[in-house]
Amino acid sequence: MTAMAGLGIAVAFKPGPASAEASEIVVCNWGGAALEAFQKAYGEPFKAKSGMEVIIDGAGPATGAIRAMVDSKNVTWDATDGGMVDAVVLGKGGYVEPIDYSIVDKSLVGEGLAAEFGICNYTYSNVLAYDAKKVGATAPSSWNDFFDLEKFPGKRTMCKWIQGQLEAVLLADGVKPEEMYPLDVDRAFKKLEPLLPQLIFWESGAQSQQLFRDGEVVMGNIWHTRANLLRKENPDYTWTWNQNLMFASAWSVPKGNPAGKKVFDFINSSLDPESQVTLLRLMGNGPSNPKALALMTDEDKAVYSLAPENAKSGLPISAQYYADNEAELQNKFLDFISR
Amino acid sequence: MTSFQRWAFCLTVPAALLTLCLYVLPILQVLALSFTEPTVGLGNYVALFQNAAIGRVVRTTVFVSAVTTVLTIVMSYAVAFALVHMPPATRRVALFMVMVPFWISVLVRAFAWITILRRNGVLNSALVGSGAVSQPLELVYNQFGVIVGMVHYMMPFAIMLLYANLSEIDLRIIQAARSLGARPVSIFFRVWLPLSMPGLAIAGLFIVIFSLGFLVTPAILGAGRVLMVAEYISVQISSTLRWGVATALSTMLLLVVGILIALAMRSPALRAAFEGGRK
């Protein structure tokens, strides 16, 4: 909060119109280890190219925060690190600028990763992660096993935020990936209900890691980036790529951003394969630029959700579906799990 | 009005203006959203009463707040009562212990409770280790855990409020009761308790109001399984962008708190508490 207030003051007292001669790009992400990683992967290469400083603010670009900034005409962020769904929702509400594809080279990212109001900066997946010491001789290998309390007794964790939760439930219930959308919510709730007493819901990535470290859960539906950090700590924590749920994260540009069009130079630079591989190595966030694959070692590919081996059983999460239904669905889900 | 009183009044004007401009007006602005978002009208309020999910959130909030208030008041009264009866040196140490939690952030306290209450946490390990229970108890990520965390947060406030009240009670009245042959039990119920009503009333009101809007503790210790009003509002503001519903619910919460205060002020005990300073 103080950081945000400080930023607001800094912008308010900046001499002259901010957009005329922007000297810095302010990027907002979700903080933690991502502060340093974004600086290394995106900030430093961009500064070397353009001379412009990149400031990373870890305040968390929730759609509500962006809307509040735009509504109060006091925008301090140039680029925000949200999901592709957020980009579509914010675009529909008129809170973000369309991506200027005369500056940003659309062909740098893979198919379906460039949208009107957001372009994919990295990819990640929700995966079935587990504690190998606790699950016994055979490891869980599909969402079916997530529901199998006899073979794998113990608590599980799922996320309180809806994206990628019901897909796993429906896959376990036998829904074919190609028939996933629109989600059959009632069917998912029916399948999930008996499992509720065994579930702990996480709300932040750090918390999902902590549940494994504390030995509270034997398996969980968590981001592969967090599973990767857990495995680096202790190889007993690992995950299966089978039936992973593939997400695209995206840069968005809040309407009236301080650096104006300059932000698109930054966005274009962030799509550089080298930058993206750097981020993959630091955080596990996967490149959106297919050319990055050529720069990867086998070790890199093992944590890259779009590596052919990992992507083949993956289910791409439909951003459009969530853009249209998330608010309704999120409230239904919170109501369902708190009953 | 004497000229001194006029001067004193003038000195409060800048603070009042500042509060009005920087606090009251923005709040009204936010509350106005409840009538204009997404369309002009009373739609958000109608939705509040028709939505079964919001009804459940409100019920959970009222239940958790009520249990928290009762437990907090009972336990805090015991502590405050003990404080009043301690020798001064012991009391200083005890008061210090009561104040310690004030210095620790609510977030840290919630996570500390998780460490204590989780399945292989401090408490369950001790219970299972000593053979008291064979299976770890479900102490957190449910209403029980939320209530434990909230009671712990509220107790220092309630203890201070009750202690202030109890220490003002004239001990000669107790002596008089004793000299007239009252037993300890009847002294407690017929002298101490009636005289502590102002403190109990103000502490109770304070805890209820605080509990109704509690966000962090239920979110962390409830882990999705206990959804209270403040968290529901926060989700609507920051992620689903349903600001209309969120501000309507905030308005209702403000209204309920206002009504509670107005009702409470009608009781002689609470009026006495507020007028206690004027001697």
Confidence of residue A11 (pLDDT cuts 50, 70, 90): very low
In this structure, the answer to whether residues A208 and A325 fall within a common structural domain is: yes
- Give the distance from CA A107 to its chain's centroid: 22
How far off is chain B from A73, nearest CA to CA, in Å?
A: 15
CB of A195 within 8 Å of a chain B CB? The answer is: no
Class of residue B10 by CB neighbours under 10 A (exposed 0-12, middle 13-18, buried 19+): exposed
Q: In the predicted model, what is the mean pLDDT of residues A36-42? A: 96
In this structure, the answer to whether residues B3 and B104 fall within a common structural domain is: no
Q: In the predicted model, what is the mean pLDDT of residues A70-84? A: 95
Confidence of residue A5 (pLDDT cuts 50, 70, 90): very low
The CA distance from A97 to A260, in Å, is 10
Residue B44: CB atoms within 10 Å: 24
Q: In the predicted model, what is the mean pLDDT of residues A19-43? A: 88
The CA distance from B113 to B116, in Å, is 5
For the stretch A179-232, pLDDT in tens is: 999 999 999 999 999 999 999 999 999 899 999 999 999 999 999 999 999 999
User: Is 60 exceeded by the pLDDT of residue A250?
Assistant: yes
Q: In the predicted model, what is the mean pLDDT of residues A241-252? A: 97
Determine whether the interchain pair A203/B239 forms a contact, defined as Cβ–Cβ distance below 8 Å. Answer: no
Q: For residue A324, what is the nearest residue in chain B, using CA coordinates?
A: B240
Q: Is A28:A79 a contact under the CB 8 Å cutoff? A: yes
In this structure, the answer to whether residues A22 and A110 fall within a common structural domain is: yes
Total domains present in chain A: 2
Class of residue B237 by CB neighbours under 10 A (exposed 0-12, middle 13-18, buried 19+): buried
In this structure, the answer to whether residues A156 and A102 fall within a common structural domain is: no
In this structure, the answer to whether residues B24 and B78 fall within a common structural domain is: no
Q: Which of A331, A332, A336 to mutate to test the interface with B (most CBs of B within 10 A)?
A: A331
In this structure, the answer to whether residues B15 and B62 fall within a common structural domain is: no
User: Is 80 exceeded by the pLDDT of residue A314?
Assistant: yes
In this structure, the answer to whether residues B88 and B12 fall within a common structural domain is: no
User: Is 70 exceeded by the pLDDT of residue A1?
Assistant: no
Confidence of residue B267 (pLDDT cuts 50, 70, 90): confident
Total domains present in chain B: 2
Q: Which residues of B124-151 are buried (b: 16+ CB within 10 A; e: fewer)?
A: beebbeeeeeeeeeebbbbbbbbbbbbb
The CA distance from A316 to B41, in Å, is 40
The CA distance from A183 to A177, in Å, is 11
Structure tokens at A296: 């990867």
pLDDT of residue B52: 92
pLDDT of residue B120: 87
Sequence letter at residue B202: I
Q: For residue A64, what is the nearest residue in chain B, using CA coordinates?
A: B238
In this structure, the answer to whether residues B114 and B25 fall within a common structural domain is: no
Q: For residue B241, what is the nearest residue in chain A, using CA coordinates?
A: A64
- The sign of the dihedral angle between the CA atoms of A85, A91, A95, A99 is positive
In this structure, the answer to whether residues A68 and A150 fall within a common structural domain is: no
Q: For residue A159, what is the nearest residue in chain B, using CA coordinates?
A: B224
Nearest neighbour of B224 by CB, restricted to A65, A155, A160: A160
In this structure, the answer to whether residues A202 and A291 fall within a common structural domain is: no
Q: Which residues of B176-197 are buried (b: 16+ CB within 10 A; e: fewer)?
A: ebeeeebeeeebeeebbeebbb
User: Is 60 exceeded by the pLDDT of residue A122?
Assistant: yes
CB of B50 within 8 Å of a chain A CB? The answer is: no
Q: In the predicted model, what is the mean pLDDT of residues A15-40? A: 80
pLDDT of residue A317: 96
Q: Which residues of B155-172 are buried (b: 16+ CB within 10 A; e: fewer)?
A: bbbbbbbbbbbbeeeeee
A79: domain CATH number is: 3.40.190.10
For chain A, what is the mean pLDDT? 92
At residue B23, the 3 state secondary structure works out as helix
Helix or strand run (H / E) with residue A26 = strand A24-28
> CA angle, B246 as apex, A92 and B102 as ends, to 5°?
125
In this structure, the answer to whether residues A160 and A236 fall within a common structural domain is: yes
User: Is 80 exceeded by the pLDDT of residue B273?
Assistant: no
pLDDT of residue B279: 44
CB of A331 within 8 Å of a chain B CB? The answer is: yes
- Give the distance from CA A239 to its chain's centroid: 18
The CA distance from B47 to A262, in Å, is 44
For the stretch B46-88, pLDDT in tens is: 988 999 999 999 999 999 999 999 999 999 999 999 999 999 9
Confidence of residue B236 (pLDDT cuts 50, 70, 90): very high
Which residues, listed in sequence order, are joined to residue B159 by a DSSP beta bridge? none
Q: What domain range is B29 assigned to? A: 1-36
CB of A115 within 8 Å of a chain B CB? The answer is: no
- Quote the ipTM score: 0.87
In this structure, the answer to whether residues B50 and B86 fall within a common structural domain is: yes
User: Is 60 exceeded by the pLDDT of residue B277?
Assistant: no
In this structure, the answer to whether residues B261 and B191 fall within a common structural domain is: yes
Q: For residue B225, what is the nearest residue in chain A, using CA coordinates?
A: A338
In this structure, the answer to whether residues B100 and B6 fall within a common structural domain is: no
Q: What domain range is A33 assigned to? A: 2-123+248-311
By C-alpha distance, which of A113, A61, A108, A63 is closest to A247?
A: A113
Percent pLDDT > 70 in chain A is 94
In this structure, the answer to whether residues A213 and A78 fall within a common structural domain is: no
Nearest neighbour of B241 by CB, restricted to A93, A155, A332: A93
Residues 118-157 of B with CB under 8 A from A: 118-121, 141
User: Is 60 exceeded by the pLDDT of residue A17?
Assistant: no
In this structure, the answer to whether residues B69 and B29 fall within a common structural domain is: no
Q: Is A334:B224 a contact under the CB 8 Å cutoff? A: yes
In this structure, the answer to whether residues A69 and A187 fall within a common structural domain is: no
pLDDT of residue A147: 97
Q: Is B254:A339 a contact under the CB 8 Å cutoff? A: no
Q: In the predicted model, what is the mean pLDDT of residues B159-186? A: 93
B67: domain CATH number is: 1.10.3720.10
Determine whether the interchain pair A337/B53 forms a contact, defined as Cβ–Cβ distance below 8 Å. Answer: no
Q: Is A276:A122 a contact under the CB 8 Å cutoff? A: yes
Residues 137-166 of A with CB under 8 A from B: 155, 160-161
User: Is 50 exceeded by the pLDDT of residue A4?
Assistant: no
Nearest neighbour of A335 by CB, restricted to B53, B222, B223: B53
Confidence of residue B276 (pLDDT cuts 50, 70, 90): low
In this structure, the answer to whether residues B99 and B211 fall within a common structural domain is: yes
How far off is chain B from A142, nearest CA to CA, in Å?
A: 24
In this structure, the answer to whether residues A279 and A227 fall within a common structural domain is: no
In this structure, the answer to whether residues B50 and B137 fall within a common structural domain is: yes
Q: Is A329:A337 a contact under the CB 8 Å cutoff? A: no
By C-alpha distance, which of B267, B110, B46 is closest to A203?
A: B110
In this structure, the answer to whether residues B12 and B100 fall within a common structural domain is: no
Determine whether the interchain pair B240/A160 forms a contact, defined as Cβ–Cβ distance below 8 Å. Answer: no
User: Is 90 exceeded by the pLDDT of residue A262?
Assistant: yes
In this structure, the answer to whether residues A285 and A210 fall within a common structural domain is: no
DSSP for B130-165 reads: TTS-SS----SSSHHHHHHHHHHHHHHHHHHHHHHH
By C-alpha distance, which of B20, B39, B18 is closest to B29?
A: B20
